[in-house]
Structure 1
């Protein structure tokens, strides 16, 4: 499986436009098995080559930045492609009501440092992307966080064992929630490992 998207993988906007609707349906169907809710406001989306390929093309298609934009998009989204012994995810706090969103995020500073994947009694801490500080000095969290879950070979085997309970957890004092990983999500994510 490819681990990086290169300029050679980028379609012309005309070619992408011709397949855009079909790609949207295809990726939407795949994402159903790569998404989990955690508590009332958080959703985690596990990324891979295909989701990032589409994201880059969507950014190029919508913003129309042409050749000058390609390198920036590759630099932004390639780090979100799993590299063999990790899962990579986008954590989003999706709160439609603006006032409530401000209130909740205002109390979630550092939330990106409190996300864990549990394999039975073993805990894997998420490592947040450090390209941008996602918590303000006042303690307000961003609504979007990019996370890496690094695995050892033994942890990959445990993840793949249907007897192992897999649970995602956010252990922030102001947002403490867990969610068991459904079998369909687990099966889809197992393909992210080499």
Structure 2
């Protein structure tokens, strides 16, 4: 049965809170897809002759992963906040490690063990030279233990979307679907 534009607008208005929730979940789906892509890039990283650039790129990918993952479980207005309670016991330690990494290294520079900032002060006559010394511990490639957590989270998010679509179908009496395509090569 075909519906008029007015009927569709009424339907959208009536079920706006459910539709808004679905929109926020879609932002989470996008975040998880991005996390998986960055993780794939990190896991397939090939060292080049430019080691400094390589290290900066690995740090950029890791930062992107950690910050996006943490945002899924943090407060904000744009997407649905995920509860730490959804994490299966087998992934709790890895989950907490990523959240701690976000909070202590990337979001707040709160004394994470993998980064230490020092400086030397060198006095030369009437001039003082500050010599920065930054020591960074970096993982070359992708931490293997993160992959299964991200796979689980991807599945969880897609199942959550399916549940939301089923609820909208039940409430409206009209079937709600989302197109599915082939998974990208990095998944």
TM normalised by structure 2 equals 0.25
Question: Which structure has the larger Rg over C-alpha atoms?
Answer: 2
TM normalised by structure 1 equals 0.24
**Structure with the largest fraction of helix:** 2
